Chains A and B, each alone.
Chain A
Amino acid sequence: MNEEIKSFTISIYTENNIGLLNRISAIFQRRHINIESLTTSQSEIDGVNRFVIVVNITEEKASKIVKQIEKQVETIRAYYHTEDQTIFTESCMFKIKSDLLFNEPQIQNIIKESYARIVTVNREFFVLEKSGRRNEIESLRRDLNAFGIMQFVRSGRIAVTKDQMKITELLTAFNNQ
């Protein structure tokens, strides 16, 4: 197995139960693995949650950690993928003083060129939203920083895989048992 440290996206399908986040994050903590980002939400299946966790580790570690995660009673299935096996995105929001929007023509150009979306505008501030790759978000942040950002927030990565994850089959098989 490749010993090189790479960015892996770990996808976990789980029951929707209190305490599971704790169990899963403890698996990373115990092995001193830093979580780069973590998102949890509903999945395509009713009553099934999905975690998307990004970590920088070796493939060997990724495969071991996935087994440990799958071992948890309430985990339905876990997978790990490299960046080129997934389609992923992050999203972010900027809160910026409204004066700037009117007084700094450059800001309008930045917004247009970055395909960011204005979510709301009022007298004091306006809010920009953008989804995309990390580097796109970072470059927008750098550009806006020059003018001053009141608040910035970025989400964890969300990702879908290029190949299938056969959770539905798995669950159907269980229900028919």
Chain B
Amino acid sequence: MKTQTINKKQEVAVKTERISGSEAVVRSLIAEGVDILYGYPGGAIMPVYDELFKFQDKIHHVLTRHEQGAAHAAQGYARISGKVGVAMATSGPGATNLITGIADAQIDSTPLVCITGQVFSHLLGSDAFQETDIVGISTPVTKWNCQVTKSEDIPAAIAKAFYIAKSGRPGPVLVDITKDAQVSELDFKYEKCKGVRSYMPVPKTNPEHIKAAAALINNAKKPMIVWGQGVILGQAEEELKAVIEKAGIPAAWTILGASALPTSHPLNIGMVGMHGNYAPNKLTNECDVLIAIGMRFDDRVTGDLSRYAKQAKIIHFDIDPAEINKNVQTDVAVLGNSKESLAMLLDAINTNSHELWLQEFKDLYAIEFEKVINNDINPTKEGLTMGEVLKQINIESKGHAAIVSDVGQHQMIACRYAEFTTTKSNITSGGLGTMGFALPAAIGAKMAAPNREVVAIIGDGGFQMNIQELGTIFQQKTAVKVVVLNNEFLGMVRQWQQLFFDRRYASTEMTNPNFIAIAEGYYIKARKVTKREELAEAIKEMIASKESYFLEVCVEKEDNVFPMIPSGASVSDVRLS
């Protein structure tokens, strides 16, 4: 038996000896530094679970109540930590239940390694019990996937999986392992993957392109930045801030870019997109240079492409060459890692300020504040608003909380009004818009950052999509704070019905159960707020709680989220009411 000298914990992972494939799975995970994984057992993955039982002191397995919960929890873990999230499931239904989380991770570039059990390899293709072609099913929604049918291929497959998941533009990968590969033996030796010859994770930044970008920026009268998650994934928050400050450029964010720059930064001009802020949406069609950083011009951001920033020169920074000119034709494309390319840009740009231009944003913000924001966060009408709930959370958490939001009106309100001081604090399902995301994702986030306040903001609809994960919270004693904003409607859909379907509320009204009783049934402290007078106190109590806490706030039933760009409209047609 040979051991390499690395840290103690990894020693167990790399010693060469004859072990079973399932033990190799666990040792490989340990070698990759995995100390927590989310999953659900079943026949085809049982040998691996048996090994996990043996290695409990090294890897903590979290039994979620549904495999979709496991995938989302792994996503939450990955998003707040910047590390790879790991989810495990059995073959067939276990594996297919992961798919929504995998698709979500794919579109939001979240590094995930999913391990699925598979039937014996001699049964493959025979419609065996609990056999599904998970490699085929997951192909379009993974960055990479593979099936392992021989135990000796396990370490290399897992090493490659981790390498691909986290390098370059991150994403989900899936490794499907047949049961015979799990039970047969191999000479185990683990080597981390250092490269795949057909895969170049980070394209080289071309200094000429930096020069061209700087020339446009230096000559711009009305430059504007829109940054996305690429800044967070590239750990380029400092570089972004330095660029913005040096050149005095107003900067807006996409929903996944939120929190990379503190909300209070004077050059932070808010969120772009369908429910983004008024000023950055409107002025997108007035800027002379638009600098897109680590964002992909999603249609929720651009509205009608044929009327998007047509007057502007476009500079696009991205790590993924396939994003360049995919939706918006660029004048200068800068490929590479955002941390490096922004550092290069910083050296090449002039010190500047654009006071008059910045004032235009402030003026439009004043209009938005008067018409929308003030009514949302300081309401005078009777019903509680989602906005005032967020405002209280900001006050009590002093902006240090990580906000995990689900999908719907509350998501837009959470992203618009949460005040972020720390990066990686906005965890939400952006690209796929997956209801049911937040409750399990918050579990993963809290486990990855136990010292941080993690508050999940969820609608009554989305809460019921993965409500069973309250069981995981209870069993794991995960101190997440869960806020359900109950409007007794599938609010976002109802808003569209009101605005575009002549108020025909087809199947969007919800008769809800006693959420408090349900939370208490899981032994989670719970409180319900129906009146404004109780709100501040309840949120104070929630944030002060050392344990998990469930808060239901009954908000106005038919409130709408504004501003709004109706689908198919231009960003300059953003509506305030």
Contacts and interface: CB of A to CB of B under 8 A. Distances in A.
Interface string A71-98: 1011110000000000000000000000
B19 interface: no
A162 to B, nearest CB: 25
Contacts of A26: 139-140
Contacts of B140: 23, 26, 30
Contact of B197 (A17, A22, A30, A174): A174
Chain A contact residues, majority secondary structure: helix
A112 interface: no
Given A23-B139, A26-B140, A30-B140, A71 B320 contact: yes
A80 B476 CA distance: 53
A14 B198 contact: yes
Contacts of A114: none
A73 B196 contact: yes
Contact of A19 (B139, B196, B320, B324): B139
B500 interface: no
A70 B321 contact: yes
Interface stretch (B60-68, B143-151, B561-569): B143-151
Interface size class of chain B, counting residues whose CB lies under 8 Å from the partner chain: 20 to 34
A67 B322 CA distance: 5
A40 to B, nearest CB: 15
A68 interface: yes
A175 interface: yes
21 contacts: A14-B198, A17-B146, A19-B135, A19-B136, A19-B146, A23-B140, A26-B140, A30-B140, A64-B322, A64-B326, A67-B322, A67-B326, A70-B322, A71-B320, A71-B322, A73-B164, A73-B199, A74-B196, A76-B197, A174-B195, A174-B197
B325 interface: yes
Interface in B198-216: 198-199
Nearest to B169: A71
Contacts of B326: 64, 67
Contacts of B196: 73-74
Contacts of B197: 15, 76, 171, 174-175
A76 B139 contact: no
Nearest to A63: B325
Contacts of A174: 195, 197
Contacts of A109: none
Contacts of B146: 17, 19
Nearest to A65: B322
A117 to B, nearest CB: 38
A22 B145 CA distance: 12
Given A18-B147, A74-B199, A174-B195, 5 more contacts: A19-B139, A70-B322, A73-B196, A76-B198, A171-B197
A164 interface: no
A64 B328 CA distance: 12
